[in-house]
Structure 1
Amino acid sequence: MANNPDNTETDEDIQHIVRIAETDIEGRSPVVYSLTGLKGVNHRTARILATSAKIDHKKKMGHLSEEEIHHLKDAVARIETVLPAWMLNRRKDFLTGEDRHIYGGDIALVLREDINTMKKTHSYKGSRHEKGLKARGQRTKSTGRRGATVGVSRRKVG
């Protein structure tokens, strides 16, 4: 990379870890691929975030200035306004009814809350979760036999 005449910055100028949305992000890869390190952000979402922050999506994350990182953090913080409604990962929230996009550590928390809500309301999916069975209509006759039994043990001879 240092031999490349097009690259004006060297690897010594790079910031190896960039902190965005309480997540450490790799600084040696391009902005689009680095942003996919956030849970809930895919390549397409990352490219839209970079465009809204007016950052070249091919530029390495570690080469961004403090101002560009601030613009990127701001874009991630207001992700619901940046993305179109059909791209949000939590449309018509069960409790609030609004469209949201969840990213980072909140994804696991919200998923756990949703499963507990299904269990409390005794919905079909909730009862399947309680029993440890598949909840989305998959067949269970021959697959999904994880953790049921250890196996057959043989008696000692002699």
Structure 2
Amino acid sequence: MTEEKKKQSKKPSHEEPKETKVEESETFKGIVRLAGKDIRGHVPLRKALMYVRGIGINLSYSVAEVLTNELKIPSNKRIGDLTEQEMEQVDKILFNLAEHSKIIPKYMLNRTSDFLDGTDRHVIMNDLIFAVKQDIEKEKKAYSWVGYRHSYGQKVRGQRTRNTGRTGMAVGVLRKSIVGAAAAGKEGAAGAAAPAGKAATPAGGKAAPAEKAPAAKPTTPAKPAAK
């Protein structure tokens, strides 16, 4: 009896963790559009900034600080809890990051001393894609080394191309033994086809006369055996 009680009293060592349900407000939005990018509403604001093309980890901390100072929005607040007015203000700041030079230094911007107007600015999302395409086209027209590599679809920054980036290869890598056997087979087939080609009739009509075999030499009479 005691053994049965002990077995019954033992609890399984592994227990599944209990799911904690977060109470969501009525105004919570499951999908939020931030700077033209659809993001889940459960993501915190600072982490959501990294989903935007053109904003990385380091810049996201500085942008979150700007939003906290100007809009009084904590960086750990879920973006699904933000109002539409707050989202509009956040988008306005994201598309004009160069104006907040006190917190965001110049070296963190991606278009410093821009080629077109010489100003310092930071472009994101579709503006960044368009700006990069323009830069590549400018290099191609100037026919610089960077543009030359871009035009041929090769690596631009001096990487090795022996193993990776090998474009334009139609035939796979073959072993030397297979290549040698195939070459020998072609030579043998060409040698066998050559005599057959001589006996073939020409395209003109009549067949060429066959070459006569040389006449056999007359046999000399055998000498009589000596007695």
Superposed CA deviations along residues 111-157 of structure 1, whole A, max 9, x for unmatched, are: 111111101011111111112222111222343214522426999xx
> What are the within-5 Å matches in structure 2 for residues 66-105 of structure 1?
66-82=84-100, 83-105=104-126
Superposed CA deviations along residues 52-86 of structure 1, whole A, max 9, x for unmatched, are: 22211111110123343233122112211122211
How far apart, in 2, do the equivalents of 1:12 and 1:62 lie? 11
* 57, 61, 67: which one aligns with 1:43: 57
SS at match of 1:53: helix
One-letter amino acid matched to 1:130:
S
Q: Which residue is equivalent to 2:81?
A: 63
How far apart, in 1, do the equivalents of 2:131 and 2:32 lie? 26
Measure how far apart 1:102 and its partner are.
1.3
Q: Which residue is equivalent to 1:145?
A: 166
- Gap regions ≥5 residues in structure 2: 1-18, 183-227
Worse overlay, 80-89 or 40-49: 40-49
**Normalising by the residue count of structure 1, what TM-score does the alignment of the two structures yield?**
0.80
One-letter amino acid matched to 1:77:
F
- 1:150–1:63 Cα change, 3 Å: farther
One-letter amino acid matched to 1:90:
R
CA RMSD after TM alignment: 2.5
Identity of aligned residues (%): 36
- 1:49–1:35 Cα change, 3 Å: same
**Normalising by the residue count of structure 2, what TM-score does the alignment of the two structures yield?**
0.58
SS at match of 1:151: coil
- Gap regions ≥5 residues in structure 1: none
Point out 4+ residue stretches in structure 1 off by more than 4 angstroms. Answer: 1-4, 152-155
Larger radius of gyration: 2
How far apart, in 2, do the equivalents of 1:146 and 1:108 lie? 24
- 1:17–1:139 Cα change, 3 Å: same
Number of corresponding residues: 151
Does 2:38 match 1:24? yes
